[in-house]
Structure 1
C-alpha cells in the first residue's frame, strides 16, 4: 500500500499537519482506538474510538452460515442469488468487493417499487437474503422476501441471515423467525454486513483480509504509514481550503471504490459546518478548492495504490485522521437519521404533503421557489445559485436500474447500447450539468446516500444547492404488515429529506416525473439546452 504526493502544495500542507500528529503520538493512539483523541475525559472503547483490526475470527462464522444456507437452498446453474439488504457504506463496500471480484450481488437499499419488484422476480428458488439494515426500506424488503418465500413454499429460516447487534429489533425478529444471526461488529468495510454477502456471492474474503492484515502494522508507525500520509493530505488540504475531493479511478483494477469512499468521508467529516466532499465520476476542474486523488493512476495531486482490503483499512484510518484535524468526531452522525424519523411521521398522515407545483414542463412538475418559466430556466437558476465555494447535489429517488430497460436499436453494438442506456439514466444529468458550471456536481440515489452524503448535505458547509428528482409509480407494491406501499414510503423519504434541507436554509428544488421514462428524457434534453 503506497501513497505518493504529486503536487508541492499538498506535500507541504501534509508534512506540516503530519508533524503535529506525530508529536502528539496520534498515529499509534488512533490505531489502538484511544477514545481520548475525541474526548479527553473518555474512558474505554465504549466512549469513542475503536482499535483498527482485521476480523479474521469472522471467517469461521461466515463458513458456518454459508454451510447452513447451502444445505437449504438449491443454488441453480448460476450459483446462489445473493440479495443484500443494507445501506450507506456497507452496501457500497459489498458492491465494491463483488464488482472487483466479478461475482454477482443484488443490493437493495431502496424503496423503489420497480427495483424491488425486479429483485423479487429474480430466481426466488435460489435466493438467499442477508438482512443488514434496520431502516424502513430494509424492513419493507425483508417482509416482502418473507412473503415471497412463504407463498412459494420455501422456508425463510433456511434462506435468511440477519446481521445485527444483540438485543436490537432486527436481532429479536431473527430469533423469533429462526434465522441465523451474525453480530454486526463495528460497522466498518471489513464487517459482517459486507463480508458475509460477498463470501456467499463467491468473493475471496480471506484474501481481502490478508491484504488488510499486510497493512495493519503500518498504521501504528510514525513513518512509512500510508494511513498517516493519506490522512495528512486529506486533512491538510481541507484546512487549506481544498475541501472538494475529486476521486479519479479510471485506470484502477478495483471497481466501485470511489462510491464507498464518498459514503465514508462525507459521513465522517460532514458536520458542524465542516467537512470534505468527495466528487465521484467527474473530470478535474481548475478550482482552487479541489484536491484530486488518483487511485492507481498518476492523474491527480495524490496517488494511492493498493489492494482492496488494504484500501479499506487505510481510507478508514485516513478519514478518522482528517476528521480529527477538522475537529469533528468521525463516528458521530447527528443529521443522518433525521429524514428517516421525519419520513415515519409523514407516513402516519392521511396524505403526503406534496404541495402544488410552481410550474409544469411536459412530464415534469417543478416544486420549490423558482422564477423560471421552463425546465432549462430552472437549471440555469440552480447553477447560478451555487456559491463560488459551493456545489450542486443531484439526488434521485428512482429505480437506479431502470435505464437498462431502455429500448436499443436492433443489431446495436455495445457502444450504441451504452449510449441508449445513458440517455435513459437520470445519473447522466450530473455530467450534463457539470459541463455548464465551474463548480462540482454530485449525484446520489435515494435513500442510499442519506447515511453518507446526506449527512454532509445537512451538517457540512452551508454552500450546497440541491436538486431532487422523484417519480410517479405506475405499479406499486404493498408492504406486508404495514399500512403503506413502497411507493408511498419512497416519496415520504424524499419529502422528509427535502424538508431537512429547507429547514436549514439550504436551497432545494424537487422535480417530479409524472411519467418516469418520458420525464428522464425530458430532463436530459432540457439540460442540453442550458
Structure 2
C-alpha cells in the first residue's frame, strides 16, 4: 500500500494556497518535530511543553515490541488468547482501529452500559487477559471496568492480578496500585504524549500487540511518513491537511468523513476523537461527522462543510469507481495510505489546524466539566429537571429550552426544527453499541429531515470525543439523548461495582444526566429520551423518525 496520498479540491485547495506558504515561512513542520512548544501562542505554552513526545517516539516505541511479544507468547502458552481492553478515548480507539486493520480480535470495553458490560463479562473469561489503559487510573469508567472484570476473574477461580496488564504513565496512582497488587505486567507509557495522540505509544501498542497485530510494520509506516511530514515544504501533506481543516475562510467547521474503499477499518472514529477533542474549544473548532455511502451529507452542498473521503490509494485512479461520483460537494479532501502514516498525518494536521484556529490542541477543558457533573450526581443525585411526559415505552424530558410534549413524534419535530442555519444535531445514545446498532439508522434520516449535519455518538465514549466540541465549540448544536432505565426503572439488569457505592446503571445515568445538565446550562436544547423497555423503546423511536421523514 502507498504510504501516503492527499488530494484537495475547492475550499480545501484554496485554504492550502492561502495558508501553507505562511506555515512554510514559519518553519512550522520542522519546529513541530523539534517539539517547539511556542507554536500555539503563550496561553498554550505550558501544556504544549508537556505534550509533544508523539512527534519522535519511533525508537522508544520499537523497544517495547520484544516485551509485548514475550508476554503474548506466555499468555498464549497458558491458553489465554482473548484480549479485553478497558480504556476510554484515545486509549481504546487507536487499538480498536489497529486490530481491525490487522485482522486480529480485540474486545474493547469502553462502555458503562450494564447490558454491554454484562455481555463482555459473560464471554470466555477463562481465556481472557485484561489490559487496563489509563494515564492516571482516575478515569471512572476504566476503574469501574477493571473492578468488574477482576470480580469476574475471581468468580471463575482466577487470580485477577495474573490476568491483568496495566498501561499507564510512570509514577501514576495506577502504576503504584498495580505494582502493589502484583499484576502480570505494568508497561509505562511516555508521559509527554496526550491520550488522543498516543496511537503509536504503549497505549496503542500493548493491547494491539497482545492481540497479534504487526507492531513493527505499524511503526515503520509512521516513520516513513515522518520523512515528508517534517519538511518545511509546500507539498507537506500534514501542512496541507491542517490548512484545509483549520484554514478555510469562512471556516468550514463540519468535517464530513466517508469511507470510499479504504482498507483502514474504523479510522474515521479515531479521526473523530482526535479532531473534535483537540479543536473544539474557545467557541471554535471542527466537528467530524461520519457518514456512509449515499447518505444525505454527501448528496448536498452544505455551506459550512468539507468532505473527507478515505480511500485506498493503490486502487484510487481519481474519482472513478471509488463512490466519489456520488459526492456532490466540490470541497473535497481525498486521503489514503498505510495506517501508521495516517495516524501521524492526522496528528500533525490537527496540530497545524489548532495553530490556525488560535487554540490549544492539547487540552480538553470541557471534558472535565461533564465528568465533574457526573461525579456530583453520583455523590448526591439531583431531582430531575425539565418537563417530563410518558409516551409508550419512552419517557420524554426537555432541557435547555427543548420541548417535551406528550408525543414522541411532536417532541422530535420540535427539536429538529430548532437547528440553527449553521448548526448540527448530535444523537447521544447511552446504550449497547454492539447489540443496538440498528438505532444508528436515524442519523441519516434526521440529516435528510433537517438539511444539516448529524452526528451519532455512543455514550459514554463520545464524552471523550465530540463531547468536548459540544460544549467548547460554537453553541449551535441541538441534542437528542437516549438512555435506558435499569432495575425497577427498566428491563435491564443492573450491576453493582465492587468496592464502590454505586452500580453501573447509576454511573451511566449520572454521566448522561451530567452531560445534559452542562449542555442545558450553556443554553443548548436537549431532548432526553429514557427507554423503560429497550427493544420496544428503540422500535418506537425508529417508527417516530420514520413518521417525521415520511
**8 Å contact kept, 2:48–2:362:** no
Q: How does 1:94-493 map to 2 (within 5 A)?
A: 94-133=95-134, 134=137, 135-179=139-183, 180-185=185-190, 186=193, 187=195, 188-223=198-233, 224-237=235-248, 239-282=249-292, 283=295, 284=298, 285-296=300-311, 298=319, 299=324, 301-349=332-380, 351-355=381-385, 358-368=388-398, 369-370=402-403, 372-403=405-436, 425-473=438-486, 474-493=492-511
- Select the residue among 56, 59, 74 that pairs with 1:53: 56
**8 Å contact kept, 2:4–2:338:** no
Residue matched to 1:34: 36
Per mean C-alpha deviation after superposition, the further-off stretch among 42-51 and 445-454 is 42-51
Residue matched to 1:93: 94
Distance in structure 1 (CA, Å) of the matches to 2:530 and 2:209: 39
**8 Å contact kept, 1:336–1:454:** yes
**8 Å contact kept, 2:229–2:236:** yes
**8 Å contact kept, 2:29–2:232:** yes
How many pairs are equivalent? 506
Residue matched to 1:413: none
1:90 offset after TM fit, Å? 2.6
1:168 offset after TM fit, Å? 1.8
Residue matched to 1:408: none
Distance in structure 2 (CA, Å) of the matches to 1:489 and 1:520: 21
**8 Å contact kept, 2:7–2:335:** no
- Listed one character per residue, the Cα deviations across residues 234-270 of structure 1 (whole Å, up to 9, x for unaligned) are 1222x42311101111311110001000000001100
Distance in structure 1 (CA, Å) of the matches to 2:58 and 2:495: 38
Distance in structure 2 (CA, Å) of the matches to 1:43 and 1:178: 35
Distance in structure 1 (CA, Å) of the matches to 2:480 and 2:420: 15
SS at match of 2:92: helix
Distance in structure 1 (CA, Å) of the matches to 2:68 and 2:251: 48
**8 Å contact kept, 1:74–1:125:** no
Per mean C-alpha deviation after superposition, the further-off stretch among 56-65 and 479-488 is 56-65
Q: 1:468 to 1:95 in 2, by over 3 A?
A: same
Does 2:516 match 1:498?
yes
Distance in structure 2 (CA, Å) of the matches to 1:302 and 1:221: 21
Q: 1:85 to 1:101 in 2, by over 3 A?
A: same
1:507 offset after TM fit, Å? 1.2
- Listed one character per residue, the Cα deviations across residues 49-78 of structure 1 (whole Å, up to 9, x for unaligned) are 4461243433443432453464356564xx
**8 Å contact kept, 2:419–2:450:** no
SS at match of 1:338: helix
1:155 offset after TM fit, Å? 2.1
1:371 offset after TM fit, Å? 5.4
1:12 offset after TM fit, Å? 1.9
Distance in structure 2 (CA, Å) of the matches to 1:158 and 1:70: 15
**8 Å contact kept, 1:394–1:466:** yes
Residue matched to 2:543: 525
**8 Å contact kept, 2:275–2:287:** yes
**8 Å contact kept, 2:89–2:465:** yes
SS at match of 2:439: coil
Residue matched to 2:489: none
**8 Å contact kept, 2:247–2:357:** no
Distance in structure 2 (CA, Å) of the matches to 1:528 and 1:44: 47
**8 Å contact kept, 1:352–1:492:** no
**8 Å contact kept, 1:98–1:105:** yes
Q: Which runs of 5+ in 2 are unaligned?
A: 487-491
1:339 offset after TM fit, Å? 1.4
**8 Å contact kept, 2:82–2:106:** yes
**8 Å contact kept, 1:243–1:277:** yes
Distance in structure 2 (CA, Å) of the matches to 1:197 and 1:63: 14
1:228 offset after TM fit, Å? 1.1
SS at match of 1:529: helix
1:127 offset after TM fit, Å? 0.3
Please report the RMSD computed on the Cα atoms of aligned residues, expressed in angstroms: 2.0
- Listed one character per residue, the Cα deviations across residues 76-122 of structure 1 (whole Å, up to 9, x for unaligned) are 4xx71101111112312111111111211111111111111111111
**8 Å contact kept, 2:167–2:188:** yes
**8 Å contact kept, 1:103–1:202:** yes
1:375 offset after TM fit, Å? 1.1
1:326 offset after TM fit, Å? 0.2
